[in-house]
């Protein structure tokens, strides 16, 4: 039995991997299927097992990763990774602890109260000082997260999503993890680091770089950039923001994972 952490990208996996001692790497693909494999890292913190899995971007890939973790004995799920801000109060490099996860059609799942409490405790214990006001742990928020089936690229899309859902950040995977956890009656929560602010459009339409299996193709990115060379500056800025977001995730996970890994599912009475 272990804590299962779901991410979408290798960059997010590195942030989690730095907080756990990776002891084994597993790459599995169901027999007879052509879908990309699920990558799984096994490690732990303070004697508690932690598993990390990713299969790509989007809800379909996240569902596969979450299912693999549950099948491997995960007793609780944590969706971790990058997100875009839907609030002017939440800036690039900030962290969001999701109080609840929803989809644009209104389907919603609350975060497990025990996981939420442990992350809130870590947030309050995080070192903050005026001399380090831009440190990764200096801005950590709690709020609603919405999951969409595609990358939200424009400021207009962000504004509309916030008006329609009340969410303060957007990602592409957490709802799928929440759905899998609910079906398995396993505790679930989400932790996201912000890569693009509310008023920052993405420099390119990254939806064109992701295939139907959630795999990101760098060759497609190069073609897009060849057509829009002026987007280089925006990509550099996004890269800096992503690096800060990864550092924030790693720092916060180092604080809270030891306690999160001890969580067990509630005992459900058969009657």
pLDDT digits (tens, 9 = 90+) for 11-26: 899 888 888 888 777 8
- The H or E element containing residue 39 is strand 38-45
Q: What is the mean pLDDT of residues 186-208?
A: 96
Q: Is residue 72 part of a domain?
A: yes
Ranges assigned E (strand) in 124-212:
140-147, 169-171, 188-196
Q: Is residue 265 part of a domain?
A: no
pTM: 0.90
CA 104 – CA 88 distance, rounded (Å): 20
Ranges assigned E (strand) in 103-176:
108-110, 140-147, 169-171
SS3 for 224? helix
DSSP sequence for 66-113: HHHHHHTTEEEEEEEEEEEE-STTS-TT-EEEEEEEE-TTS-EEEPPH
Share of the chain above pLDDT 70, in %: 90
Q: Is residue 267 part of a domain?
A: no
141 — pLDDT class (breaks 50, 70, 90) = very high
- CA atoms in the 13 A half-sphere facing the CB of 25: 7
- CA atoms in the 13 A half-sphere facing the CB of 106: 0
CATH number assigned to the domain comprising residue 196:
3.40.50.1580
Q: What is the pLDDT of residue 238?
A: 95
Say if strands 108-110 and 38-45 run parallel, antiparallel, or are unpaired: unpaired
Higher model confidence: residue 176 or residue 128? 176
Range of the domain at 65: 2-260
Q: Is residue 67 part of a domain?
A: yes
DSSP sequence for 193-237: EEEE-TT---SS-GGGGB-TTS-B-HHHHHHHHHH-GGGHHHHHH
Q: Is residue 147 part of a domain?
A: yes
Q: Is residue 109 part of a domain?
A: yes
Q: What angle do CA 83, 204, 134 make, to 5 degrees?
A: 45
Q: Is residue 101 part of a domain?
A: yes
φ/ψ (deg, to 5) at 29: -135, 130
Share of the chain above pLDDT 90, in %: 76
Q: What is the pLDDT of residue 24?
A: 76
pLDDT at residue 138 tops 60: no
pLDDT digits (tens, 9 = 90+) for 232-270: 999 999 999 999 999 999 999 999 999 999 887 664 444
- The H or E element containing residue 197 is none
Q: Is residue 271 part of a domain?
A: no
Q: Alpha-carbon dihedral of residues 196, 55, 71, 1, nearest 10 degrees?
A: -50
Q: How many domains does the chain have?
A: 1
């Amino acid at each position: 039995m272990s804590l299962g952490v779901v991410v979408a990208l290798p960059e997010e996996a590195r942030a989690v991997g730095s907080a756990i001692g990776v002891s084994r790497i597993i790459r599995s693909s169901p027999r007879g299927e052509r879908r990309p494999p699920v990558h799984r890292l096994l490690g732990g913190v303070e004697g508690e097992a932690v598993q990390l899995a990713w299969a790509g971007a989007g809800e379909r890939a996240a569902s596969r990763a979450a299912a693999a973790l549950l099948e491997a004995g995960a007793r609780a799920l944590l969706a971790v990774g990058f997100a875009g801000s839907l609030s002017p109060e939440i800036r690039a490099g900030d962290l969001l602890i999701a109080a609840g996860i929803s989809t644009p059609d209104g389907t919603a799942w609350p975060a497990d109260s025990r996981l939420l409490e442990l992350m809130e405790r870590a947030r309050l214990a995080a070192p903050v000082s005026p001399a380090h006001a831009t440190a990764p742990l200096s801005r950590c928020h709690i709020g609603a997260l919405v999951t969409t089936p595609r990358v939200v690229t424009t400021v207009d899309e962000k504004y509309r999503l916030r008006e329609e859902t009340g969410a303060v950040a957007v990602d592409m995977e957490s709802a799928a993890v929440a759905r899998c956890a609910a079906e398995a009656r396993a505790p679930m929560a989400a932790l996201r680091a912000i890569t693009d602010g509310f008023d920052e459009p993405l420099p390119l339409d990254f939806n064109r770089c992701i295939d139907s299996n959630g795999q990101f193709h760098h060759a497609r990115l190069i073609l897009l950039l060849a057509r829009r060379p002026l987007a280089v500056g925006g990509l550099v800025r996004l890269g800096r923001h992503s690096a800060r977001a990864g550092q924030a995730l790693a720092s916060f996970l180092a604080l809270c994972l030891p306690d999160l890994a001890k969580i067990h599912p509630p005992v459900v009475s058969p009657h």
